[in-house]
Amino acid sequence: MFISIFIFSIILIAIALIGLGIQTFFSKKKDFPETRIGHNKTLRKNKIYCIKTEQVVLDKNYKQVKGIKTVCSDC
């Protein structure tokens, strides 16, 4: 009983991975979305910055303006 459920779950996981691979290979958009905060345009547009940048802004009592530059390049 356990072996049959285990094999069935492995087969379902394999089908899901193959489906994701096919979807990624044949998708028209070839770039993966940017997930780092400092490099994501949508997050910057919503005024969400890297924690290091926000800390520098808070420490120096700057107002957050539209053209704020990021301090760190790692995030």
pLDDT of residue 75: 56
Answer whether 53's CB lies under 8 Å from 34's CB.
no
- What value does the mean pLDDT take over residues 29-47? 74
Exposure of 21 by Cβ count < 10 A (0-12 exposed, 13-18 middle, 19+ buried)? Answer: exposed
- What value does the mean pLDDT take over residues 37-49? 79
pLDDT of residue 32: 67
Answer whether 70's CB lies under 8 Å from 37's CB.
no
pLDDT of residue 69: 60
0.85 surpassed by pTM: no
Give the confidence band of 42 by pLDDT, cuts at 50, 70, 90.
Answer: confident
